[in-house]
Amino acid sequence: MPGCCCLLGFPSPPAALRILRRRMASRAFQLRLNPLTGDSEWLVVEEEEDEDHHPTPPPKQLLATTSYLDMLNDSARNRAYRRAIEAAVTDPSSRVLDIGAGTGLLSMMAARALAAVRGEARGGSVSACESYLPMGKLMRRVLRANGMENRVKVFHKRSDELKVGDDLDSPADILVSEILDSELLGEGLIPTLQQAYDMLLAKNPKIVPYRATTYGQLIESTFLWKLHDLHNNEANAADGVWLTPGEMERIVSVKPQQHAMQCDALEDEIRLNPSKFLNLTFGNGQIVIVRPISRYEQHEMDMWVLQLDSAGSIFYSTAPRWARQSSSEGLQRDMKDWCDHWKQCVWFMQGKGIPATEDQVLSLRARHNQTSISYQLNINDEACDRSSKGDHLTLLPERIALYGDKDWRSALINTIKNALTVKSSPTCVVADDSLFLALLISSMSPTSKVIAMYPGLRDKGAAYLRSVADANNFSIDQIQVIGKRASSITADDLKHKKVNLLVGEPFYLGSEGMLPWQNLRFWNVRTLLDSMLSEDAFIMPCKGILKLCAMSLPDLWRSRSSLKDVEGFDHSVVNETLGACGDLPGDQQDNRYWKQGVQLFSKPVEVNPGKSVIHVEASFDPSTED
C-alpha cells in the first residue's frame, strides 16, 4: 500500500454554528445558504416576548442542526465542568463571567456554587454572554424554567462588546467558557480569552478550563490514504482520465486544514504512540506554549486533553475510545459515552507520503495562528509541502476519495460512453463543479462543445482545465467555463444552441456538507434549464431513488436523546427547539440529516427482520433545510 503520511489529531470540542450575522438592538440578521439554489439569504430573528413578557422560543430550523444537543447529552463533559466550577467558586463575593453561554448551563452551575459558599449573605454575581440571539432567547427560557432568571444576568452581545462600568459592574474574578471546536482554536478561543484578559477580567483571575494539551502522531492508514492520495488511486483505476496527470500529481489535493472525523473505527490500523504538541495554558495569562517534537516511529499521530482545574485533578479527553483505554500518559482519563460534537482531527501532509523506518528521525513542526493549528513535515531539513500555483485546487477528503474510486469512475465512464454513441457533436452542460465529467466528455468526444457552469470553482476551474487539457488529449477550445448559477444563465451563454447532454455528479463547491441537498440542487438546476434542453436531451443523473432501512444506532440515539435533568438543571424546555428524539410527542420528532440521511424517531420501534412490515410516509418541502 502506498504510504499515507497524515496527522491524526484529537484536539478539541465542537463547532456549534458558524454563521455571518449583523446585529441591531434586539434584532439579528442571519446569513444562510439556500441548499437548492446556492444563493445567500438573510433571515431576521426578532427578540420577541409573549404576553407574560417571557421570551418566545427561537425558530426551530436555526438550532436543530447544531451540536448543542449532543454537547448537553455528554455527561462526562457536564460533570467535569460542574466539578471545576465548584472548585473555582470559593469566595462568596466572586464575580463570574460566562462567555459563549449557550443554554446557560455553566452560568447556572456558577450561580448554584456561589449560593452554596455565600449562604444567606449577599454579594457576587454571574453574567452570561451569548452573542447568537436565537440561543440567547433559548437560554432565557432555560433560566426561567430553573428559577435562575434573577441570578444570571444575560447579555446578547459579543464579549468584545461588553464594557466594565457599563454592562459589568466590575471586572470578573472567574471566567468560564467553552468556545472550543474539534480543532481547539477554531471558534476564536485565543483572541476571545486575550480580549477578556485585557478588558473584562480582574488581576489573577481563575479560568475554567485551565489548560488544553494537544497530542499527535504520524500514522499510516489504508482508509485515510483513499481520502488523500488521488494520484495513485486514479493510477490504479487505469481508465485514461487524469485529474492529476504526470508531474502534476498535486494539482488537486486535500484542503490543508484540520478535518474533524470519528476515528474510533481506525483502531485496528493505528498503533498508539502519541507525543505532546502544544500546551495551551489559560489560567495564568499565558495563552500558548509550544513544545518541540524530536522523535517519531513509522506510525505517528495527534490529539488533545482538557484540564479544567488549576490543581490538575479534573480532565476531559477528546481522544477516541481505544486511545483513552490505552496506558499512554495523559490520555487515560474519565471514560465517556460516544459523542459527535468533539471529534478527532486529521491533517493530511502534502504529497503522496513517505516511507519511514523504525529508528528514523523525522521533524514535524506544529504552528498556530489565532484560529487554527497546522503542521509541516520535514525530512533531512527539507519541507515536504510546496507552494501551490494558481491552477491548484483543494477539495474535501470525501471528494478526493470519490474521484479516486474505481467503481464510481467506471460507472460514469460507461454511462457517458453510451450517451455519446447516439449524440454526434453534442452540446453538453456540466451543471455543477464536476472536474471529472468536464474532462471525461471533452476527452471522449473531440467534436463536443462542453459548457462548464462551475458556479463555485469559476476562474480557478478554468485555470485547472487549461493545465490538464493536453494530458487528457483534448483542446481547451472545446470547453467554455461560464462561472454562473443556473438562475443567471441565458440563451446567449449557450450561443442559442439546445443542450443535448446535461450532466452533474452532483458536486457544488461550498455546499458539500448539505447532504442530500447536493442531489436536490441538481434537480432544481435541471428545472431552471428546461427551456434550453433539446427534446431528446440526455440527463445524468436522471432520477433519484430514496431507500429506507430500519437500523439500530444506539450511540447516535443517545447523543440526540431528549433532555431532562442536566447536572441538576431542567433542560426539557430545549428539546423541541434543538430537535431531540425520544419521549417527545409525535409532532415534535425531528429530522437530522447525516451522510446517509438519518431520521431519529421520537420512540424506537422494534422490528423482526424478514417479518415486520413498516408503513412509511415521506413529505418534501424545498423551502427549508429540515
**CA dist 83 → 230, 437, 452, 563 (Å):** 47, 56, 57, 20
pLDDT at 350: 75
**CA dist 232 → 123, 252, 298, 401, 409 (Å):** 66, 12, 20, 11, 14
How distant is the alpha carbon of residue 355 from its chain centre? 31
pLDDT at 25: 42
pLDDT at 590: 43
Question: For the domain 68-208, what is the CATH code?
Answer: 3.40.50.150
Helix axes 75-88, 105-118, angle to 10 degrees: 40
**CA dist 293 → 261, 278, 332 (Å):** 24, 10, 21
pLDDT at 492: 93
CB distance 346 to 224 below 8 Å: yes
pLDDT at 272: 65
Helix (H) or strand (E) holding 334: none
CB distance 273 to 258 below 8 Å: no
Tell me the CA end-to-end span of the chain in Å, nearest whole number.
41
Per DSSP, the three-state class of 189 is helix
Selecting among 178, 249, 300, 567, the annotated active-site residue is 178
The CA dihedral of 405, 409, 412, 418, to the nearest 10 degrees, is -150
Q: Which CATH architecture has domain 212-385?
A: Distorted Sandwich (2.70)
Region(s) of the chain under CATH 2.70.160.11: 212-385
**Which residue, 508, 526, 527, 529, is CA-closest to 517?**
508
Along the chain (626 residues), what's the average pLDDT of each consecutive run of 10 residues?
Answer: 50 37 51 76 66 60 83 94 97 96 97 91 90 91 96 95 96 95 89 94 94 84 88 93 93 91 81 75 58 35 80 90 57 61 86 72 81 77 53 93 96 95 91 96 94 96 96 94 94 93 93 71 93 95 81 83 95 92 56 52 70 67 51
Is 178 in the active site?
yes
Q: Looking at the domain 405-541, which fold is it?
A: Rossmann fold (3.40.50)
pLDDT at 581: 84
| Cβ neighbours around 236 below 10 Å, total | 11
Is the alpha carbon torsion for 521, 522, 526, 532 positive or negative?
Answer: positive
Region(s) of the chain under CATH 3.40.50.150: 68-208, 405-541
CB distance 393 to 382 below 8 Å: no
Alpha carbon distance 505, 398 (integer Å): 13
Selecting among 130, 183, 187, 576, the annotated active-site residue is 187
